[in-house]
Amino acid sequence: MPSLRIVLVDDNSEFLKSARGLLSLNPCLDIIGTAASGIEAIDKINRLRPDLALIDWAMPGMTGLETMKFLKARLSAPKIVILTLHDIPLYRTAALAAGADGFLNKADWTSTLSPLLRDLFPDWTEEIERRPG
């Protein structure tokens, strides 16, 4: 099974750089693109067709929630996880009610992403666990 293809979306270039670096350490994750805005994310996700998009909640212009809603209206939408610094129950509820496949706090996303990926991609996870490594 091929690697899980991911697009990262955040207006903070330092977070994008850090997240890309951390996720790239896992050979089973393929960061196929990044975007700094909702409009750019829609374009990249439509062109690259990732399995997963990690999208920041708070971005200028088109928020992560608005971006996710636009993408989820399409039949070929990837799994979408909303990331935020503001882990407020209202945000979590709103994101999940609007169709997010997951919601992660940026403060601990590196430790909570793997369990979420196991839930979202059980077939992929089984393959990863079988790979030597």
Would you kindly state where each structural domain of the chain is located, as residue ranges?
A: 4-130
Class of domain 4-130: alpha beta
For the stretch 75-119, pLDDT in tens is: 789 999 999 998 899 999 999 999 999 999 999 998 999 899 999
pTM of this structure: 0.91
3-class SS of residue 16: helix
Render 24-76 in DSSP notation, one character per residue.
HTSTTEEEEEEESSHHHHHHHHHHH--SEEEEES--SSS-HHHHHHHHHTSTT
